[in-house]
């Protein structure tokens, strides 16, 4: 049998390796920004166009590279950050594998401009699909400029799998946030399609968080500080009242490297136990400093997951530090069982002097003297109650022993109706209803073949979903104007999401007076959206939109309709009157699709007469 195993060509191997390192434009941004930080830059510019598909450029003022280093940097496993295997256990840099530039150059057009401080002129290098097309001396400032164009130009299949420009821009923004928050001592500029998105000057950690997520974030932050022999914990957590249903503002940094850790996230959530709702998520910006020898970073291609030598201790310390911060800054209510409140001086009396009490004595008082009308204060006025007339207490009571009780006039206390989802207006519905509510969750009604049991929440979701989708499509949403405009605060990223779906929101009935970088002014809401729940509805909408990453306008409309139907639908546990039950059943079967909810779950089940008969066998 002939030999069939052969070595792959370098360009093919580079393209395969690029599949692990470069998944989308945001991956390129992450690698280039980390290289700029490792180069010692204190000012970095990020420029992108068309969601990073057309252009990704990172300009820094770091140490730069010589002509030889510039050419060698595009070779696989060529790096200046480690020299031996032992260096893997003492990493202080972002990158160390030497695969990033080789992988990027294999699937894009790359132009490199670089110069060191000691060189008078720099070098310009152009690479297309792992092949160096030109190398020329050029005049350029100290530092390095990487320009990546036409990502995945030689792999059309991978390029077709990229999302829309808005979605890719959102992923790039997330990576930019992770790098910028970890290095507040570096100045960052972020440009998208010619407009400046972020200008972050050098600052401390708290100011960097405020500059990224808006001025309103400052009042939400509670500092966390704890230093032990195992780990040093610093950073901020959000106050419990600012928890959200989305997981947007959650960041872990270990040795200034962003990581994802469900285990440590559980430690934070457990520290907030009892302070926030189970479906809400706390925000946090936590920085952990540990011995580089006690962690392993080289367990994932994207280097966002690490392994701790003693993760149980880190878990316990992190949970304890957050609980201490919540109690130290009076974020949680506390009771002091040792202090005696009776011994504490009231605040209003702290500056007053003690007064000598005055006692008045009646010198003429004689307890053995006879009763006189003048001594009104004495106990002689007390009259002993008489037992005379005790028979009158039982007048009108007759013994009914042996008589049959009459229950014809007995009335039962009706259960309080907590909600009605349909306005009956002046129209009256037949009081003889064929529906009843079971366990405040199901609506039971009869059909010809037997009975049908409907999940009230899923049924209402389907009714609202089709109504909202219809309003968005035909653009006939009814708006209820607010007496006073409602101002809501969001981060820059959240405001950009609202701008993306603003057409769908307007078609539903939302009216916006103004939208700036951090504030949204709402003057009108749909009829079914209470004013008190507008903020919650928009928060849930932003969260769902980030998770689903829609591709077209129809997908956007679908997400908006699903989110509103889920948020505004009647919940399990709400008592409905008979008119609302009957109206919900009728509206459900008037829908185009009445069998499954908008989230592909069954709405009802049927029990035929035969099914019921089988239960009695």
pLDDT digits (tens, 9 = 90+) for 316-331: 999 999 999 988 876 6
Residue 15 has a pLDDT of 67
62: nearest Cα among 117, 110, 111, 113: 117
Q: How confident is the model at residue 348 (pLDDT cuts 50, 70, 90)?
A: low
Residue 389 has a pLDDT of 64
Is 3's pLDDT higher than 50? yes
**Across 383-399, average pLDDT:** 60
Contact (CB, 8 A) for 544 and 559: yes
Is 120's pLDDT higher than 80? yes
Q: 17-26, 420-429, 459-468, 606-615: which has the highest mean pLDDT?
A: 459-468
Residue 565's alpha-carbon distances to 398, 457, 464, 590, in angstroms, are 61, 10, 5, 17
Instruction: Kindly write down the DSSP assignment for every residue of 113-178, as one continuous string.
Output: EEE-SS-SSEEEEEEETTEEEEEEEE---SEEEEEEESTTTT-HHHHHT---HHHHHHHHHHHHHH
Contact (CB, 8 A) for 314 and 265: no
Is 384's pLDDT higher than 70? no
In eight-state DSSP terms, residue 260 is -
Instruction: Kindly write down the DSSP assignment for every residue of 161-225, as one continuous string.
Output: T---HHHHHHHHHHHHHHHHHH-TTSEEEEEETTEEEEEE-S--HHHHHHHHH-GGGGGGEEEEE
Q: How confident is the model at residue 367 (pLDDT cuts 50, 70, 90)?
A: confident
Query: Which has more confidence, 579 or 357?
Result: 579
Is 19's pLDDT higher than 90? no
118: nearest Cα among 46, 69, 55: 69
Domain boundaries, the chain: 10-200, 209-328, 420-617
Q: Which two tokens stand for residue 150?
A: 């036409």
**Across 67-71, average pLDDT:** 89
Largest CA distance in the chain: 137
Cβ burial of 169 (10 Å; 0-12, 13-18, 19+) is buried
Q: How far is the C-alpha of 461 from the C-alpha of 104, rounded, in Å?
A: 46
Residue 158 has a pLDDT of 83
In eight-state DSSP terms, residue 489 is E
Q: Average model confidence (pLDDT) for the chain?
A: 81
Q: How far is the C-alpha of 178 from the C-alpha of 162, rounded, in Å?
A: 22
Q: How far is the C-alpha of 63 from the C-alpha of 46, rounded, in Å?
A: 18
Is 115's pLDDT higher than 80? yes
Q: Which two tokens stand for residue 177?
A: 């946030």
Q: How confident is the model at residue 612 (pLDDT cuts 50, 70, 90)?
A: confident
Domain 420-617 is found in CATH 3.30.1370.100 = yes
Quote the percentage of the chain above a pLDDT of 70. Answer: 79
130: nearest Cα among 111, 166, 103: 103
Which of the four CATH numbers 3.10.129.10, 3.30.230.10, 3.30.1110.20, 2.40.50.100 does domain 209-328 have?
A: 3.30.230.10
pTM: 0.71
Contact (CB, 8 A) for 434 and 583: no
Residue 360's alpha-carbon distances to 16, 180, 378, 441, in angstroms, are 102, 78, 17, 71
Neighbours of 237 (CB within 10 A): 25
User: Which of 2-6, 72-76, 104-108, 180-184 is the least confident region?
Assistant: 2-6
Is 200's pLDDT higher than 90? yes
According to CATH, what is the number of the domain 10-200? 3.30.565.10
Query: Which has more confidence, 10 or 510?
Result: 510
Residue 380 has a pLDDT of 46
Residue 37 has a pLDDT of 92
User: Which of 222-226, 315-319, 332-336, 413-417 is the least confident region?
Assistant: 413-417
Which tens digits make up the pLDDT trace of 277-316?
887 889 999 999 998 888 877 666 667 788 888 889 999 9
Which tens digits make up the pLDDT trace of 212-243?
988 888 888 999 999 999 999 999 999 988 88
Is 409's pLDDT higher than 90? no
Residue where the block lists tokens 């709702």: 277
Residue where the block lists tokens 């002046």: 426
Beta bridge partners of 139: none
Is 155's pLDDT higher than 80? yes
Q: How confident is the model at residue 17 (pLDDT cuts 50, 70, 90)?
A: low
Residue where the block lists tokens 């780990």: 231
Beta bridge partners of 123: 114, 137
Q: Which two tokens stand for residue 476?
A: 């006939």
Neighbours of 478 (CB within 10 A): 11
Residue 383 has a pLDDT of 55
Is 428's pLDDT higher than 60? no
Contact (CB, 8 A) for 45 and 147: no
């Amino acid at each position: 049998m002939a030999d069939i195993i052969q070595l792959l060509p370098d360009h093919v191997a580079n393209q395969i390796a690029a599949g692990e390192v470069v998944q989308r434009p945001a991956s390129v941004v992450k690698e280039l920004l980390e290289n700029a930080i490792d180069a010692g830059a204190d000012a970095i510019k990020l420029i992108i166009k068309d969601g990073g598909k057309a252009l990704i450029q990172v300009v820094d003022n770091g140490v730069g590279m010589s002509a030889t280093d510039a050419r060698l940097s595009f070779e696989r496993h060529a790096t200046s950050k480690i020299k031996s295997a032992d260096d893997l256990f003492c990493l202080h840099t972002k990158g160390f594998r030497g695969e990033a530039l080789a992988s990027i150059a294999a699937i894009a057009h790359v132009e490199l401009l670089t110069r060191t401080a000691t060189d008078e002129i720099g070098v310009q290098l152009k690479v297309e699909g792992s092949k160096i097309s030109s190398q020329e001396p050029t005049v350029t400032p100290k530092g390095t400029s990487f320009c990546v164009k036409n990502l995945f130009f030689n792999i059309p299949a991978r390029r077709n799998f990229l999302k829309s420009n808005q979605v890719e821009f959102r992923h790039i923004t997330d990576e930019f946030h992770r790098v910028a928050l970890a290095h507040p001592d570096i100045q960052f500029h972020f440009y998208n399609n010619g407009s400046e998105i972020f200008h972050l000057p050098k600052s401390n950690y708290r100011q960097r968080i405020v500059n990224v997520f808006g001025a309103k974030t400052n009042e939400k932050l509670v500092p966390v500080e704890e230093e032990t022999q195992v780990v040093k914990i610093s950073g901020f957590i959000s106050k419990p009242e600012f928890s959200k249903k989305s997981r947007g503002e959650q960041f872990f940094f270990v040795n200034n490297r962003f990581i994802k850790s469900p285990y440590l996230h559980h430690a934070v959530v457990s520290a907030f136990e009892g302070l926030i709702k189970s479906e809400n998520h706390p925000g946090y910006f936590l920085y952990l400093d540990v011995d580089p020898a006690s962690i392993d970073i080289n367990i994932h291609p994207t280097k966002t997951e690490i392994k701790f030598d003693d993760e149980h201790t880190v878990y316990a310390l992190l949970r304890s530090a957050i609980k201490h911060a919540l109690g130290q800054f009076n974020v949680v209510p506390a009771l002091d069982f040792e202090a005696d409140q009776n011994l504490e001086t009231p605040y209003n009396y702290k500056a007053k002097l003690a007064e000598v009490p005055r006692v008045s004595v009646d010198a003429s008082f004689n307890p053995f003297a006879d009763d006189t009308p003048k001594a009104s204060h004495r106990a002689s006025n007390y009259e002993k109650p008489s037992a005379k007339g005790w028979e009158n207490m039982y007048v009108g009571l007759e013994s009914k022993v042996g008589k049959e009780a009459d229950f014809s006039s007995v009335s039962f206390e009706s259960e309080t109706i907590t909600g009605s989802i349909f306005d009956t207006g002046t129209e009256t519905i037949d009081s003889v209803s064929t529906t009843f509510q079971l366990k405040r969750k199901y609506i039971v009604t009869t059909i010809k073949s037997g009975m049908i049991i409907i999940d009230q929440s899923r049924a209402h979701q389907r009714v609202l979903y089709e109504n909202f989708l219809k309003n968005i499509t035909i653009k006939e949403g009814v708006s209820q104007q607010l007496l006073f405009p409602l101002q809501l605060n969001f981060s820059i990223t959240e405001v950009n999401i609202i701008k993306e779906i603003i057409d769908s929101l307007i078609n539903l009935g939302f009216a916006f007076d103004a939208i700036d970088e951090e504030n949204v002014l709402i003057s009108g809401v749909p009829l079914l959206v209470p004013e008190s729940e507008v903020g919650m509805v928009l928060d849930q909408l932003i969260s769902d939109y980030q998770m689903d990453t829609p591709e077209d306008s129809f997908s956007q409309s679908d997400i908006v309709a699903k989110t509103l139907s889920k948020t505004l639908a009647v919940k399990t546990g709400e008592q409905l009157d008979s008119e609302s039950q009957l109206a919900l059943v009728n509206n459900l079967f008037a829908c185009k699709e009445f069998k499954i909810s908008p989230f592909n779950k069954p709405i009802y089940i049927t029990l035929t007469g035969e099914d019921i008969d089988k239960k009695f066998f």
